[in-house]
Amino acid sequence: MDSKVDALGVADTTELKSCCATVYQSEWARVILGDSFHPGGLALTEHLGATIGLAPGQRLLDVASGQGASAIRLAERFGCTIVGVDYGDESVRNATAAATAAGVGQLVTFQQGDAERLPVADGSFDAVICECAFCTFPDKPTAASEFMRVLKPGGRVGLSDLTRSGAIPTDLQGLLAWIACIADAQPLDEYARYLREAGLTVNLVEAHDDALAAMVREIQGKLLGAEIMVKLKKIDLPPTVDFDQAKRMARAAAEAVQAKHFGYAVLTATKP
Ligand SMILES: C[S@@+](CC[C@H](N)C(=O)[O-])C[C@H]1O[C@@H](n2cnc3c(N)ncnc32)[C@H](O)[C@@H]1O
Report the separation in Å between the CA atom of 131 and the middle of ligand 1, taken as the mean of its atom positions. 8
Q: Does a structural domain hold residue 235?
A: no
Q: What is the CATH number of the domain that holds 42?
A: 3.40.50.150
Q: Is the pLDDT of residue 141 over 80?
A: yes
Across the strands, what pairs with 125?
A: 151
Q: Does a structural domain hold residue 122?
A: yes
Nearest ligand 1 atom to the CA of 38 is 8
Q: Does a structural domain hold residue 88?
A: yes
Q: Does a structural domain hold residue 252?
A: no
Report the separation in Å between the CA atom of 65 and the middle of ligand 1, taken as the mean of its atom positions. 6
Structural domain of residue 43, as residue ranges?
Answer: 3-215+263-270
In this structure, the residue with its CA closest to atom 16 of ligand 1 is: 17
Mean pLDDT, all residues of the chain? 93
- DSSP codes joined into one string, 203-266: EEEEE-HHHHHHHHHHHHHHHHHHHHHHHTTSS---TT--HHHHHHHHHHHHHHHHTTSEEEEE
Q: Which of the four pLDDT bands, split at 50, 70 and 90, describes residue 1?
A: low
Q: Does a structural domain hold residue 112?
A: yes
Verify whether ligand 1 is closer than 6 Å to residue 264 (CB atom). Answer: no
pLDDT in tens, 3-17: 788 788 888 999 999
In this structure, the residue with its CA closest to atom 27 of ligand 1 is: 66
Q: How many CA atoms lie within 13 A of 118 on its CB side?
A: 29
Verify whether ligand 1 is closer than 6 Å to residue 92 (CB atom). Answer: no
Verify whether ligand 1 is closer than 6 Å to residue 64 (CB atom). Answer: yes
Report the separation in Å between the CA atom of 58 and the middle of ligand 1, taken as the mean of its atom positions. 23
Verify whether ligand 1 is closer than 6 Å to residue 66 (CB atom). Answer: yes
Q: Which of the four pLDDT bands, split at 50, 70 and 90, describes residue 31?
A: confident
Separation of alpha carbons 58 and 67, rounded Å: 22
Q: Is the pLDDT of residue 60 over 60?
A: yes
pLDDT in tens, 62-83: 999 999 999 999 999 999 999 9
Of the chain, the percentage scoring pLDDT greater than 70 comes to: 98
Report the separation in Å between the CA atom of 235 and the middle of ligand 1, taken as the mean of its atom positions. 25
Q: Does a structural domain hold residue 251?
A: no
Q: Determine the residue of 14, 65, 266 to mutate for testing ligand 1's pocket, defined as the one with the most ligand atoms within 8 A of the Cβ atom.
A: 65
Q: Which of the four pLDDT bands, split at 50, 70 and 90, describes residue 174?
A: confident
Spatial CA neighbour of 71 closest among 28, 39, 35, 40: 35
Q: Span 14-42, mean pLDDT?
A: 91
| Total number of domains constituting the chain | 1
In this structure, the residue with its CA closest to atom 25 of ligand 1 is: 21
φ/ψ (deg, to 5) at 34: 80, -150
Nearest ligand 1 atom to the CA of 21 is 25
Q: Does a structural domain hold residue 138?
A: yes
Q: Does a structural domain hold residue 12?
A: yes
pLDDT in tens, 143-165: 999 999 999 999 999 999 999 99
Report the separation in Å between the CA atom of 232 and the middle of ligand 1, taken as the mean of its atom positions. 31
Report the separation in Å between the CA atom of 271 and the middle of ligand 1, taken as the mean of its atom positions. 23
